[in-house]
Structures are given as structure tokens and as C-alpha cells.
Amino acid sequence: MEECRLCRIINNENDKFLYEDEFVIIVPTNKMKGHKKRIMIVSKSHLDNNIEITTFEDIFRKYCYEYFDEEPTCIIASPEYATITNHWHRIACDWIGEDMLQCWYTPHLAIKTKGKWNRSE
């Protein structure tokens, strides 16, 4: 059986990990789609992408709060349109990118970050 794309990242790209614990990793996505920052959290074991795993989602939200420190908010896309459905993951990015419209129209969660609205002051 061919290894899935997310398993391949977990098994071969640990030099890219931003965060790792027993259950999940966080890595920058391969495609940035014009965003300054675009990351995903991936479960280490195969879990259905549509289930809500509150502990993993909390880890990701806390990570995003620090990671998107140049933006007042970032978004976490809902798994509704994910292309990989059998391996749990969530993607977060800043608002500005080639897929901005898609970001707006895809159900998403806006996350407050430690960034400020007005950085010139």
C-alpha cells in the first residue's frame, strides 16, 4: 500500500517539525498559496479527519496564538473540503494569500493571536 502524504511527512520530514509530542506534529505546509505563514497539525496515527479531537485542536489553537505573532488573527479551515480525509489534520494560515476568497467562503475558525491590529504604534 502506498504511504499516505501525511504519513510520509511524519516519517521522513522530521527536520521540518515546528512542534512534536506523543500524538501530533505541527509542520509548515508544502504549498504556501501566497501566505506568509501556513501550517498544519497532523495526528501521528490514522484517524478520520472529520472527527473533532478537542485536545489536538486546543494544542493547535495555542500554537497558532504564538506562531502568527505578526497578525491579529489567523484562520483554521474546517475539514469540510480537505482532500485527505482519512488522516486527521487541520490547516491554519494568515488571511492574505492567493486563496483568500476560498479562505473566506470555506467554513473556518478565526483565532485571536498575540499580534496587534495596529503595529505602527
Beta carbons within 8 Å of 101's beta carbon, 6+ residues apart: none
Distance CA 25, CA 82 (A): 18
- Shortest reach from residue 5's CB to Zn ion, in Å: 7
53 binds Zn ion (CB under 5 A): no
Cβ closer to Zn ion: 87 or 108?
A: 87
| 4 lies in the site for Zn ion, by CB under 5 A | yes
Q: Which residues 6+ apart lie within 8 Å of 52 measured at CB?
A: none
19 φ/ψ angles, rounded to the nearest 5 degrees: -155, 145
Cβ contacts of residue 78 below 8 Å, gap of 6+?
A: 106, 107, 108, 109
Q: Does 27 bind Zn ion (CB under 5 A)?
A: no
Minimum CB–partner distance for residue 63 and Zn ion (Å): 20
6 near Zn ion (CB under 5 A): yes
CB of 34 vs Zn ion, minimal distance in Å: 26
What CA–CA distance (Å, rounded) separates 24 from 59?
Answer: 9
Q: Which of 35, 87, 90, 108 binds Zn ion (CB under 5 A)?
A: 87
Q: Does the footprint of Zn ion cover residue 7 (CB under 5 A)?
A: yes
Contacts with Zn ion by CB under 5 A lie at 4, 6-7, 87
